[in-house]
A and B are shown apart, each in its own frame.
Chain A
Amino acid sequence: MADVHIKGVSKSFGETVAVDNLDLQIKDGEFVVLLGPTGAGKTTTLRLVAGLERPDSGTIHIAGRDATVLSPAERDTAFVFQQYSLYPHLSVFDNLAFPLRSPARKLSEDAVRRRVEEVARLVRIHHKLDNRSTKLSGGEMQRVAIGRALVRKPSIYLMDEPLSSLDAKLRADLRLELKRIQSELGATMLYVTHDQIEAMTMADRIGILSEGELVQIGTPRAIYSEPANLHVAARLGQPAINLLPAGLLPDGGAPTGTRTIGARTEHLSIEKAANGHGDGVVDWVEHLGDQNHLHVTVGPKKLVTLTDPDTPLERGDLVTIRYRMPLYFGSDGQRLT
């Protein structure tokens, strides 16, 4: 394992700037998740670290060594692709053994077998070692793909939305397993996703990417409760943060220059209006089983919050809405404190 230092890296494809002057330092044993929408430059960042792309400018250091112009093989990274990139004509065992059988390694077949079995148990695929890789289910294929990365002890694990093509249940299972494996191995990991739950649950630090730029990086808690700007605030929280213009509701503590107020569920107190004079009207209550979404119209805006399963509120009720220490954003979209 090793630390990775990306310094001022840019990469364009024709006219499109995929990564723009990116600075990112990943410490040894750290789990960093890059979060952003499609086209934000997440995958390109991973490919740059792996050496599958060459940066237009900037440098990439792996374990203190300048790796900017090294080939993928020389960098010694492990990559899990979004597609199940298994070698289709090989068995599960041979797929897992593939990186170990590199002539650069010179491992005995005995050592290979031991290592493969160890990893197969780790990703819980050991009962299917003799299967053809094409005869596996989607979840099993992705386990093999992850296992193939894990058999090696590379400088860094790079994972490109490895769970995105799996169903919800499996995704939740593998999410936990990945985190467990990572902390057991003390692995350095750079993980890319557009799923905020994956980012929040697994990351030591989350980096928010937008249009090739790293907007903010910090612990999940910091990113969630102290977003740098509107973009970051909008990426996290379920239901999404409500962005209301200043002055729509009474906002006593707002700093000067506040243009927009961001309010998640925990920033709002909503009660039935006492005297028939409310701030908003309940549109409907959405029962999702484990949680209820409350949809309220406030003037020209609609807002959505979580509410108790046994909420007395009903469609058409007038409600009083108050902020509880919400997030304030200025006219440039930056958060004000």
Chain B
Amino acid sequence: MLNRTADNVARATPEPLARRVRGISDKGLAWLFISPTILLLLAINIFPLFWAIYLSFTNFRANRPNEVVKNLGLANYKRILTDQDIWIAMQTTAHFVFWTILLQTVIGFTLAWLIDRKFRGHAFWTTIILVPMMLSPAVVGNFWRFLYEPQIGLFSYVISFVTGIPPTNVQMLSNVDLAPWSIIIVDTWMWTPYVMLICLAGLRSIPEYIYEAAEVDRASNWRQFWSITLPMALPFIMLAVLFRGIENFKMFDMVNLLTGGGPGSTTEVASITLKRQAFESWRTGYSSAFAIILFVAVFGLANIYVKALNKVKQR
């Protein structure tokens, strides 16, 4: 009786699919399932990467596909690394990355610290602060173009209201000195909430009893901040800096929408140069080499940074 029940159960249980689809092992089946993703990844990620590496050694131009492609060796790389304009673009990028990270980290951490005081309505304010981050960059770009508008822009109006300079003179996007800052302001406005969120996670991870112990140990609020809050939130702050750093190194959308690299080339960050070389001058091989250089630079810097981050985390 018991045996028959067991037999029935055994018969009712479906055989593993692998055994029914003859000739396919479990492993084979697993590959079958992930192959669409892998193929897609190969087609739109891995192949273009290697293709770009190949192109970077040639004089290929995408608008003249029938021309004979010549292998130039390292000539493209040599030209880029000695090109004064490229270095200026890199400097613009570095300048931009430095100021956005500095502002976003300082403001973001301060906001997180304030929100962590858990005052009345802190949840409401957290939500409000997070709104810019949830918008699409395209929307943000267009909408700040209006705000910066010298004739009708609210931003220019407020500045002129405070400083007394006529609003038509506050040419945020077309003034050589102000244009870089106009982008830094927008990026900070949009992404400070992101930094705040990560910092807040860090602050929330510090257990309350550490502060109580410090209080009993007669540490002042100032000392508690420097010897507990900051060191314990540091890995989180560094993580936020890493994310924002990588992101801003390749910043394109906001710059393209707001100034398009202008006036002149004052806001021409590396990615804008890249776009101009690739799709306005059609120097495909040359811009591929530039892209590879940028990639290696970001990758290298990020790696060094992650090492430092791990060291901090292990303390």
Contact = CB atoms under 8 A, between A and B. Distances in A.
Given A79-B212, A79-B213, A87-B228, A103 B207 contact: no
A127 interface: no
B220 interface: yes
A89 B213 contact: no
B231 A89 contact: yes
A326 interface: no
Contact of B213 (A73, A85, A102): A85
Interface residues of B, number: 18
B223 A72 contact: no
Contacts, number: 62
B210 A76 contact: no
A50 interface: yes
B213 A81 contact: yes
Contacts of A98: 214, 217, 219, 227
Interface string B212-233: 1111111110010001100110
Contact of A76 (B209, B218, B220, B228): B218
Interface in A20-74: 50-52, 71-73
Contacts of A88: 210, 232
Contacts of A102: 217-220, 223
Contacts of B210: 85, 87-88
B216 A87 contact: no
Contacts of B311: none
B217 to A, nearest CB: 4
B207 A99 contact: no
Interface residues of A, number: 26
A260 interface: no
A263 B6 CA distance: 57
A227 B228 CA distance: 46
A76 B218 CA distance: 8
A10 to B, nearest CB: 21
User: Among the interface residues A77, A79, A87, which one has the most CB atoms of the partner chain B within 10 A?
Assistant: A87
Interface string B8-35: 0000000000000000000000000000
A104 B209 contact: no
User: Among the interface residues B218, B227, B228, which one has the most CB atoms of the partner chain A within 10 A?
Assistant: B218
Contact of B215 (A72, A103, A105, A132): A72
A270 B232 CA distance: 62
B315 interface: yes
B147 to A, nearest CB: 43
A73 B215 contact: yes
Nearest to A47: B212
Interface string A80-121: 010101011110000000110011110000000000000000
A78 interface: yes
B312 to A, nearest CB: 9
User: Among the interface residues B216, B219, B315, which one has the most CB atoms of the partner chain A within 10 A?
Assistant: B216
Interface of B: 207, 209-210, 212-220, 223, 227-228, 231-232, 315
6 contacts: A81-B213, A83-B209, A89-B232, A98-B219, A102-B223, A103-B223
Given A52-B216, A76-B218, A79-B213, 6 more contacts: A72-B212, A72-B215, A72-B216, A89-B232, A102-B218, A102-B223
